[in-house]
Homo-oligomer: A and B are copies of this chain.
Amino acid sequence: MAATIRDVARVAGVTPSTVSYALSGKRAISEETRERIQRAIAELDFTPNAGARALALSQTNVLGLFLQFQEDEFAPAMLQYVLPVSTTARNHGFDLLMVTDPDVDAAIRRTTSSAMVDGVVLLDVTYDDPRLEPLRQTRQPVALIGYAKNAEGFDAVDLDFGEAARNALDHLAGLGHREVVLVTPPRHVFERGGSYAWRFSDAAAERAARHGMQLHIVEGESRQPALGQAVTAALDRYPSATGLVVHNDATIAALPSLLHDRGISVPDDLSVVGMFSAEFGTAFSLPYTSVDTRPELLGEWAVSRLVERIADPDGAEPPQVRLIEPGFVDRGSTRAVG
């Protein structure tokens, strides 16, 4: 059996409460006593039992991370968000319970009503996300990564996809492009309520109009060969387009291969702007200028808010929806035209 606080107390010749206070620093302990306790802890290799602590403190120092791997989604994209969440949590002294249970309702009540977690991060939130309703019943604070219609009562953070689209379009307009193709996320993302899909497209359309550019919006796909055919068909249909904006993870990952297939050289034949994070770009060796989706900032913000609320459940500011400014990384895949 592992050593308990009583064992430490006995070896150090004090009471358990003194050991506890020495550990927490919540009251003054004489130097000499502190040292005896330290020695006893080291000797017995004592670590406080997490369950007992949680029970006494009503706090587990564990955050729940809820995510789903959708069959038709590009799984690697999800990963970019997981690591920043994990790292930020750890920096604040929290561990992460990763919940992928398809039965989300059951998972929510299992982990929150039982007080396994002190807070919840919800990944890949959709506009009509059905997980929000069950989460309203929980006493733990919740932070959403993604944009929902009814996020009332929750902190939420997402990239400013409108601004992202404007960045992409402005960049191409500034280089003189007059006709541009936009590849969107696949249809099922729109259908499922992935608001980033239409927020980007709508803003792109509006911005193109303002610049007097022609913008051809085509639906992308999530898998080969459909994904390649969608791009190919678009390029065939709009042969005079000089710019390509890709807002689709699977498509951008496959784009180098696709463009080579067609003998299209970037940026000489076509200027390309993607939507992806630095990490994603590195993993897939993407040579494209991109609007950076900054997953690390989203993850950090969500966890930080959660931690503030856990520390001070009442004192915290009202829940807030935060839009993160996208980045822009020029990798030389666009050129001036006209």
Chain A residues near B (Cβ < 8 Å): 2, 45, 47-55, 60, 62, 65, 69, 74-76, 78-79, 82-83, 86-87, 90, 95-101, 109-111, 113-116, 137, 139, 223-225, 227, 250, 253-254, 256-257, 260-261, 279, 282-285, 287
Contact = CB atoms under 8 A, between A and B. Distances in A.
Contacts of A260: 257, 260-261
A283 B76 contact: yes
B116 A95 contact: yes
A285 B225 contact: yes
A312 B140 CA distance: 34
A62 B97 contact: yes
A55 B49 contact: yes
6 contacts: A2-B115, A49-B55, A51-B54, A62-B97, A257-B260, A260-B261
Contact of A75 (B49, B79, B109, B224): B79
A49 B267 CA distance: 59
B223 A282 contact: yes
A68 B74 CA distance: 21
Contacts of A74: 283
Contacts of A284: 253-254
Nearest to A101: B90
B223 A114 contact: no
A60 B62 CA distance: 13
Given A51-B54, A60-B51, A115-B2, A96 B98 contact: yes
A251 to B, nearest CB: 11
A52 B227 CA distance: 51
Contact of A51 (B98, B115, B261): B115
Contacts of A254: 256, 284-285
Contacts of A100: 83, 86-87, 90, 96
